[in-house]
Chain A
Amino acid sequence: MLKNRLTAPDRWGKWVADRIAILLLLGAALFLMGWMLASVDRLTGLTQSKSTVAALGQLFGTFTTIFLGIFIEAAAFLLLGVLASALIQVFVTPERVQRLVPKNRLGATAVGSLLGLIFPVCECGSVPTARRLMHKGAPVPLGVAFLLAAPVINPVVIASTWVAFNGDPLIVGGRIALTIAIAAIIAMTLALHPAARTLLRRIPDTVPSHDHALPAQGFLARLGSVTDHAAAEFFEMGQYVVFGAMIAALAQTFIPQDILLAIGGNPVASVIVLMALAAIMSICSTVDAFVALGFASTFHSGAILAFLVFGPMIDIKAVLLFTTTFKRSAVLVIVLLATLLSFLAATWINLNVG
């Protein structure tokens, strides 16, 4: 089936996505420039040195430290993800994937939501794995549910949340339940698309010498194929980790968090603030519970939950990584739905549960 034209909804999604991205980038750039000027000002006042250059140097050093912190951490887990993906590509046949996974949407969604329990990956690792599974024939809802749920629904993250919050049932249970619910709703929504597979992007083939139809024979040849795939995928996805880490480090260096945190008491605004903070900070889901703990004394439980549920699904580098897997219209649907559902659920909890 050759399909060179976008369908009308796709074109619309693309049009909106293009404009929104440009507007958001422009706004963010203006905002950052303002804060940069303010930060330099504060820092020169602070160090009692009149040198703007010295202040800029210190800010650049801070930016570098935060950028490398995110990048180094993410590179390790991205590498694990692309190795898993390359092993699947070379050693698992599409027939086996198709035999093992349920065909119907509900079953595929359920399996996808819980697959992280045996396939523990965080957000950097889940994207290559989910993409590979879908291209091997796993249903789209399975891939989407896995992509969104696996960073939370895995033993490491559940344990660290439990430890950080002392087994608080509202936070630990709420995080698990809300993540599964939101991932499942988004997966089912995308599954409603009459040709869900057209939402996927092709995997760019940066590996020159191999053939999809006939997998390499012999163990050494297969191993070579694994390294080629892993290298190509690390390269392709690594660039989005770099961009995401750069934006996050810029925001962290120049946007004073106390201004955001001062809004902690309001049941609606606090949710928005912690969701924004989660997207900006781009921290790994295995430790975000400890960071959220830091907000627990000033923020309502709903806002904390929003941070813990929304953050692992949507942050700057994760959204950039999504664009390697889905067409822009599908990424837009995922981001909008995740934002809306997290916000509504968290606000409801703030207002009704406390």
Chain B
Amino acid sequence: MHEHEHEHSPDCDHHDHAPTASERWLPVVQALLIGGIGAMLLVKVMNGTLPLYVHVRYTPLIAATGVVLLLLAVAVLVGQWRADPQGHPDHDHDHGRLTWRSPALTALLVPILLGLMVPAQALGSAALSARGGVGTGGTGMRTVDSLADGASYSLPDPTSWTLLDWVNATLYEPDNPRVQGQAIEVEGFVWRDSTLPEGQIMLSRFVVSCCSADGLAIGMPVAADSTLDLANDQWLRVSGTVGLQERDGRKEAIILAESLTPIEQPAEPYLYP
């Protein structure tokens, strides 16, 4: 029954118009946009930048999505090419039909353009700043407290621990003798946290559960002589030992660095919980 009720909306007056010549091209444009999104996804998969946007476990799903979208686009084009252009008696149903004015055309162009034209950028200091890292020394530092519950303290070999493992292991008991003085070697990017003592930087990483929208920043302060001229977002491999300091009345584990090696941003810049 509802199929025959007409909505009272301003574009009702288009209702009985036969599609104009230029509107016959709309399905083609539609297919190109759908195919464009599929192509954008496949480009991201191929050039290895997909991990900057979504968790690596979704890579096969996104690749499949790209392929299916391309196939859909081809199917629509083929169907359009084979369809008899005069054979559309069914005008009762074309309400809401795509027109050149539909915002969908522009909207679906946005992800294609942003995906193909804007250089891929991992979440970094700008995102940290947006999350309020400046004021509090990292919301992420506080929020990761609870991740420590689920994380295992018994990882076999501390030399293979990531920054996240170390943050989890030191957050509740930074002065635990089992971690204090341990040798540590981790990678991360520089975050010049203004709440840290002079000469220290925050070695940070984003922890992503699903996509870049849920990234949490974690970090450990690094004390070294040579941190002053390091710029935000510079990736480093830091080795040294775990030390202790008190900041704002709270004990925290820090890295007493023996060497800071600038490195390229890893292909998978995020850590996964």
Contact = CB atoms under 8 A, between A and B. Distances in A.
B149 A166 contact: yes
Nearest to B53: A69
Interface stretch (A102-110, A236-244, A330-338): A236-244
A37 interface: no
B30 A72 contact: no
Interface in A196-213: 197-198, 200-206, 208-212
B150 A252 contact: no
Contact of B8 (A6, A62, A224, A235): A6
B79 A76 contact: no
A203 B143 CA distance: 43
A247 B50 CA distance: 22
Contacts of B4: 1-2
Nearest to B55: A287
A93 interface: no
Nearest to A224: B79
Interface in B105-135: 107-108, 110-111, 114-115, 118-127, 129-135
Contacts of B129: 39, 42-43, 46, 256
A239 B68 contact: no
Interface string A29-70: 000000000010011001100000001001111101111111
Given A71-B111, A75-B41, A242-B110, A283 B213 contact: yes
Interface string B243-273: 0000000000000000000000000000001
B236 interface: no
Given A201-B7, A258-B131, A69 B212 contact: yes
A40 to B, nearest CB: 10
Nearest to A237: B104
Interface in B55-83: 58, 61-62, 64-65, 68-69, 71-73, 75-76, 79, 83
A95 to B, nearest CB: 15
A206 B31 CA distance: 12
Contacts of A231: 30-31, 34, 72-73, 75-76
B90 interface: yes
Contacts of B90: 205, 210-212
A197 B1 contact: yes
A164 interface: yes
Contacts of A42: 129, 134
Contacts of B213: 66, 69-70, 248-249, 252, 281-283
Contacts of B124: 58, 62
Given A236-B104, A293-B146, A294-B146, A202 B121 contact: no
Given A293-B147, A294-B143, A67 B96 contact: no
B3 interface: yes
A284 interface: yes
A254 interface: yes
Nearest to A60: B118
Contact of B34 (A235, A257, A295): A235
A297 B142 CA distance: 8
A58 to B, nearest CB: 4
B134 A46 contact: yes
B103 interface: yes
B189 to A, nearest CB: 13
13 contacts: A46-B194, A62-B121, A64-B121, A65-B122, A66-B212, A73-B210, A79-B69, A202-B2, A209-B88, A234-B72, A281-B214, A284-B211, A297-B145
Given A197-B1, A231-B72, 4 more contacts: A62-B126, A65-B121, A230-B72, A261-B132
Interface of A: 1-6, 39, 42-43, 46-47, 55, 58-62, 64-73, 75-76, 79, 83, 135, 163-164, 166, 197-198, 200-206, 208-212, 224, 227-228, 230-232, 234-236, 238-239, 242-243, 246, 248-249, 252-259, 261, 281-284, 286-288, 290-291, 293-298, 327
Interface of B: 1-8, 19, 27, 30-31, 33-34, 37, 41, 44, 50, 52-54, 58, 61-62, 64-65, 68-69, 71-73, 75-76, 79, 83-84, 87-88, 90, 93-98, 103-104, 107-108, 110-111, 114-115, 118-127, 129-136, 139-140, 142-147, 149-150, 192, 194, 209-214, 216, 231-232, 273
